[in-house]
Structure 1
Amino acid sequence: MNIGEIAKRAGVSRSTVSYALSGKRPVSDDTRQNIQRVIDELGYRPNASARALANGRTSTIGLVFPPAGNHYTGMQLDFIGSVVEAAAAYDYDVLLSPSGVDSDRSFQRLLGERRVDGAILMEIRLEDDRLDHLTAVDFPSVAIGRTAHPRGSWWVGLDHTALVAACVHHLADLGHRRIAFVNRPEPLLRAGYESAHRGLDGFTKAAAERGLTVQTYCCGDDAASGQACLERILHDDPATTALVTLNEAALGGLYRGLAQSGLHVPRDFSVTGVVASRWAETVTPQLTAADVPAEEMGRLAVELLVERLDHPDSPARHHLLAPPISLRASTAPADTTPTAPAPDLGAPTNL
């Protein structure tokens, strides 16, 4: 079924049908209703490419995400799902582009062929050439995360600096004095991933404020790496009593490493971090954490992009989120009971 058949049955010209569908020129209400009746009877669905040519819009959003390894973490999947769901509410489809820098052929096709109306970018770096390129070609985009110089850009971010600092202060308030920080993988830190750098900054500053003894570690995005990291922590400083993590993919391994070391959470060792709530609730005991609002962030990113597409002259807007720490069962006061000194068997004893 095509526009010509609709025009024939409605008794109008092909151009009138086209104008009624695209809204480019006014059509009388009676004519529009007649055309819509025929469309409904025939079950006509306009071809997406033809519709894009007619109104200059594809009704598709690009989600640009460069995989950091050979799998997506749970939090990354949460972001992807939230963007897809939010876009559907605005009648937008989502095209996933697993690409990165502006030299990527996939990324260039996404822009050069105008396959999408706008783009949402994940896994933002402090210096991100993807955003630089989009700004240079004036392509509508919204970032999930913020660069080192976000002024004038559209983004939705999580305040990793403040959230990790809040975790440190929570542990310090419980009496913990020797704390470790488990970050994202080292290649991501070297590449300038925003969350890894801002989280590390929040940890070191808060630890300095509280006069804590600390260690910082990069850890792979998997349970085995988490277990190995925990073993390194206890090897480097066996007196460590708590940790803060940004790495939810390694969380199960961190817990397993503690259990194999004979340490009970939270009686012997406290664990906290910045993790999506559904992942914080999968471990036992459940993790005290600043819950990452992935669903809200995805929704806000889509809303900002739709606003930018509908109102191209609007000034840049952003959202910086800092959810409170959800107190669960993985943190407890540090055991500050002093160890009794061993008796000096050579000293005289008064009976």
Structure 2
Amino acid sequence: MNIGEIAKRAGVSRSTVSYALSGKRSLSEGTRRKIQQVIDELGYRPNASARALANGRTSTIGLAFPPAGNHYTGMQLDFIGSVVEAAALYDYDVLLSPSGVDSDRSFQRLLAERRVDGAILMEIRLDDDRVDHLGALGFPAVCIGRTAHPEGSWWVGLDHTALAAACVHHLADLGHRRIAFVNRPEQLLRAGYESAHRGLDGFTKAAAERGLTVRTYSCGDDAPAGEACVERILHDDPATTALVTLNEAALGGLYRGLARADRHVPRDFSITGVVASRWAETVTPQLTAADVPAEQMGRLAVDLLVERIDRPDAPARHHLLAPPISLRASTGPVGTPAHDSDGYRR
């Protein structure tokens, strides 16, 4: 079924049908209703490419999301899903580009061929070439995350600085004085990933404010790396009684490492961090954490992008979220040390 057949059945010209579909010219209500009736009877769906030529829109947004490591973590998949679901509410499809300006030509094709009406960027770095590139082009884009200088850009961010600090203060209020910080992998820190850097900054400043003894660790995005990280923590300072983590992918390994070291959570050791609620609730005991609102952040990013597409001259807007810590079962008051200086239970 095509425009010619619709025009024939409605008794109008092809151009009139085209105007009705694109909205580029006003038509009488009777003509528009007659065309729509034929479309409904035939179940016509305009070809996406033809529609894009007619109204300058693809009804597609790009999601530029390079995996931070050699796989997507559960939280990263939560973000992808949230963007896809939110875009569908606006009748937008989502084209995933697992690349960036430096890493692959896919991202460049996305822009040069105008395959999308706008883009959402994830895995943001403090200095991010993708953000600079799109800003220079004036291409509609929204970041989930923020660069070192986010002024004038559109973004939705999580306040990792404040959230990591809140975790430290929660543990300090429970009497913990020796705390470890388990961050994302070292290569992400070197690459300038903003969540890893801002979380580390919040942790160290809050620890200094409370006069705590702390150590910081980079950890791979998987359970074996988490287990090995706990071994390093207890080797470096067996008197450590708590940790804060930004690494939800390593969470199961952190728990296993503590169990292997005969550290009961939360009686002997408290653990907290910044983690999506559904991952915090999969471990036993459930993790006390600042819950990452992936669904809300994806929805807000799509809202902002649609606004940018519809209103190219609108002033830049952003959302910075700082959810409260959800108290579950993985933290408790520091007790009498149950392990001697070599880390073994007395």
TM-score (norm 2): 0.97
- 1:83 matched residue in structure 2: 83
User: SS at the partner of 2:9?
Assistant: helix
1:92 and 2:92 correspond: yes
For 2:339 and 2:60, the matched residues in 1 are separated by 64
User: SS at the partner of 1:320?
Assistant: strand
Whichever residue aligns with residue 156 of structure 1, its letter is: V
For 2:63 and 2:216, the matched residues in 1 are separated by 32
User: SS at the partner of 2:286?
Assistant: coil
User: SS at the partner of 2:156?
Assistant: strand
For 2:154 and 2:326, the matched residues in 1 are separated by 29
User: SS at the partner of 1:152?
Assistant: coil
User: SS at the partner of 2:200?
Assistant: helix
Aligned counterparts, 1:94-243, within 5 A: 94-102=94-102, 104-243=104-243
For 1:239 and 1:149, the matched residues in 2 are separated by 39
User: SS at the partner of 1:308?
Assistant: helix
Runs of 4+ with >2 A deviation: 101-104, 336-340
Alpha-carbon RMSD across the aligned residues, in angstroms, is 1.2
The CA deviation at 1:207 is: 0.4
The CA deviation at 1:103 is: 6.3
The CA deviation at 1:143 is: 0.1
The CA deviation at 1:43 is: 1.0
The CA deviation at 1:102 is: 4.9
User: SS at the partner of 2:37?
Assistant: helix
Unpaired segments of 5 or more residues in structure 1? 341-351
Contact 2:231 2:257 in 1 (8 A): yes
- 1:56 matched residue in structure 2: 56
For 1:13 and 1:45, the matched residues in 2 are separated by 18
Whichever residue aligns with residue 239 of structure 1, its letter is: A
Distance 1:339 1:321, change over 3 A: closer
For 1:39 and 1:295, the matched residues in 2 are separated by 36
- 1:23 matched residue in structure 2: 23
- 2:343 matched residue in structure 1: none
User: SS at the partner of 1:229?
Assistant: helix
The CA deviation at 1:106 is: 0.2
For 1:210 and 1:53, the matched residues in 2 are separated by 61
The CA deviation at 1:338 is: 10
User: SS at the partner of 1:333?
Assistant: coil
For 1:320 and 1:222, the matched residues in 2 are separated by 28
Whichever residue aligns with residue 163 of structure 1, its letter is: L
1:10-50 deviation per Cα after TM superposition (whole angstroms, max 9, x unaligned): 11110000000000011111001100111111111100000
TM-score (norm 1): 0.95
- 1:331 matched residue in structure 2: 331
The CA deviation at 1:104 is: 2.6
For 1:337 and 1:254, the matched residues in 2 are separated by 20
Identity of counterpart residues, as a percentage?
A: 87
